[in-house]
């Protein structure tokens, strides 16, 4: 955990979030500022600042996030979905802990 990371604080329950899914590797919660009818953030529990800091050992967790996105799609009965990851400040990343935006429409 990184002490000043908002997502690490959510993972450690130091900050509240509406959690949709959680297991030992990933937490998925609702975005506090949604830009779609359903807007979730899928966050690995390991603190990884950006996609550019991913290591080979992190790739199974990233794949796992995609499986979770499929599960959320079915569970929330979405009719359309997009997923994106912003990388670095100029790429729109504002929290420096890798996270996927899962946006869905019903």
Band the pLDDT of 58: cuts 50, 70, 90: very high
The model's pLDDT over 62-84, given as tens digits with 9 standing for 90+, comes to 999 999 999 999 999 999 999 99
* CB distance 27 to 13 below 8 Å: no
Catalytic pick from 25, 64, 99, 101?
Answer: 99
The model's pLDDT over 3-52, given as tens digits with 9 standing for 90+, comes to 799 999 999 999 999 999 999 999 999 999 999 999 999 999 999 999 99
**Does residue 97 carry a catalytic annotation?**
no
Identify the H or E element spanning 105.
Answer: strand 100-105
pLDDT for residue 2: 79
Domain boundaries of the chain, sorted by first residue: 6-105
Instruction: Give the pair of three-digit tokens for residue 44.
Output: 């690995």
CATH 3.30.428.10 fits 6-105, yes or no: yes
Helix (H, G, I), strand (E, B) or coil at 87: coil
* Alpha-carbon gap, residue 80 to 93, rounded angstroms: 24
Is residue 1's pLDDT more than 70?
no
* Alpha-carbon gap, residue 81 to 54, rounded angstroms: 24
List the one residue out of 105, 100, 41 whose CA is nearest residue 73. Answer: 105
């Amino acid at each position: 955990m990184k002490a000043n990371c908002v997502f690490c604080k959510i993972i450690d329950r130091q900050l509240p979030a509406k959690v949709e899914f959680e297991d030992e590797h990933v937490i998925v919660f609702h975005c506090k500022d949604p830009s779609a009818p359903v807007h979730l953030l899928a966050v690995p529990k390991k603190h990884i600042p950006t996609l550019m800091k991913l290591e080979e050992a992190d790739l199974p967790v990233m794949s796992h996030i995609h499986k979770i996105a499929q599960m959320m799609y079915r569970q929330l009965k979405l009719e359309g979905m997009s997923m994106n990851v912003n990388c670095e400040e100029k790429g729109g990343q504002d929290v420096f802990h890798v996270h996927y935006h899962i946006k869905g429409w019903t």
